[in-house]
Structure 1
Amino acid sequence: MKVLVTGATGFIGRQVVNLLGEAGFEVRMASRHPERLDPASDAVKLPEFDAPAGAFQALMRDITHVVHCAALNNDRKASEADFLAANATLTAQLARAAAAQASGRFIYLSSIRAVAGPGFSGTISEATPPAPQCTYGRSKREGEIRTLEAYASRPTDATALRLPSIYGEGMKGNLATLMRLGGIPMALSLPAAAFSGVRSLMSCEAAARTAVYLLSRPRPLRPVYVACDLPPLPVSAIIGAFRNGFGYSLRLSRVPAGLMRAVLTLLCKRKAWDAITATQICDPSLLVSEGWAPRTDTLEQLTELARRYKSGVAQPR
Structure 2
Amino acid sequence: MRILVSGAAGFVGRTLVPTLQARGHEVVPLRRGEGGVPADLAEIGAWTGWPTGIDAVVHLAALNPQRGERAADDDAALMRANGAGTKALAARAAREGVGCFVFASTNLVHAPSTAPVDEDARLAPQNAYAASKRAGEEGLRQALAGTPTHAVVLRLPPVYGPGGRGGLAMVLKLARSPLPLPFARSSARRSLLSVANAADALAIAVEHETLAGTFLVADGPPWRIGDLVAYVRQLKGRSPRLVGAPLPLLRAAAGALGQRATFDRLFADFVMDDRRFRAATGWHPPQSVETALRETVRTP
Residue identity in the other structure for 2:212: R
Determine the structure 2 residue equivalent to 1:213.
204
Structure 2 Cα separation of the partners of residues 54 and 266 of structure 1: 49
Q: Note if contact 1:29-1:44 (Cα within 8 Å) is conserved in structure 2.
A: no
RMSD between aligned residues: 2.3
Amino acid at match of 1:54: A
How far apart, CA to CA, are the structure 2 residues paired with 1:120 and 1:274? 11
Indicate the larger mover: 299-308 or 229-238.
299-308
SS of the residue 1:59 aligns to: coil
Hey, what does 1:115 align to over in structure 2?
110
Q: Distance in 2 between matches of 1:106 and 1:267?
A: 42
Structure-2 change in CA distance of 1:32 and 1:15 (3 Å): same
Q: Supply the distance in 2 between the matched residues of 1:191 and 1:47 (Cα, whole angstroms).
A: 43
Q: Which residue of 2 aligns with 1:6?
A: 6
Match of 1:246 among 236, 247, 254: 236
**Could you tell me which amino acid in structure 1 is paired with residue 31 of structure 2?**
S
The structure 2 residue matched to 1:262, chosen from 252, 258, 277, is 252
Find the counterpart in structure 2 of residue 93 from structure 1: 88
Percent identity over the alignment is 33
Aligned counterparts of 2:172 and 2:239: Cα–Cα separation in 1: 13
Is the contact made by 1:30 and 1:44 (CA closer than 8 Å) also made in structure 2? Answer: no
Tell me the CA shift for residue 224 of structure 1: 0.3
Q: Mark the CA change 1:277 to 1:270 in structure 2 (over 3 Å): closer, same or farther.
A: same
How big is the shift at 1:209?
A: 1.0
1:180 aligned partner: 173
SS at match of 1:160: strand
- Aligned with residue 283 of structure 2, among 278, 281, 292: 292
Which digits, 9 at most, give the CA deviation of each residue in 1:97-136, with x for residues without a partner? 11121331000000011223xx543322111121102110
Q: Given that residues 65 and 102 in structure 1 are in contact (C-alpha distance below 8 angstroms), is that contact kept between their aligned partners in structure 2?
A: no
Match of 1:103 in 2: 98
| 1:17-56 paired onto structure 2 within 5 Å | 17-32=17-32, 45=37, 47-51=39-43, 53-55=45-47
SS in 2 for 1:131: coil
1:194, 1:276 within 8 Å by CA — same for their partners in 2?
no
| 2:108–2:126 contact (8 Å) kept in structure 1 | yes
**Alpha-carbon contact 1:3-1:28 (below 8 Å) kept:** yes
Of Structure 1 and Structure 2, the greater strand share is in 1
Query: Is contact 1:246-1:307 (8 Å) kept?
Result: no
The one-character-per-residue Cα deviations of 1:124-174 (angstroms, maximum 9, x if unpaired) are 211112110211010000000111111112477102110000011110011
Q: Deviations over 1:279-302 (max 9, x none)?
A: 010111001112111356203321
Distance 1:231 1:49, change over 3 A: same
Q: Kindly provide the CA deviation profile for residues 189-211 of structure 1, in whole angstroms up to 9, marking residues without a partner as x.
A: 32236643111000111111111
Displacement, 1:175?
Answer: 1.6
Contact in 1 for aligned 2:197/2:287 (Cα 8 Å): no
Gaps of 5+ in 2: none
The Cα offsets for residues 29-53 of structure 1, whole Å up to 9 and x where unpaired, read as 112376xxxxxxxx87454134262
- Match of 1:4, SS state, is strand
Distance 2:174 2:10 in 1: 25
Correspondence 1:77-226 to 2 at 5 A = 77=69, 78=71, 79-116=74-111, 120-154=113-147, 157-184=150-177, 186=178, 188-192=179-183, 195-218=186-209, 220-226=210-216
Distance 1:104 1:28 in 2: 15
Q: 1:281 to 1:155 in 2, by over 3 A?
A: farther
Quote how far apart the aligned CAs of 1:255 are: 2.4
The count of corresponding residues between Structure 1 and Structure 2 is: 295
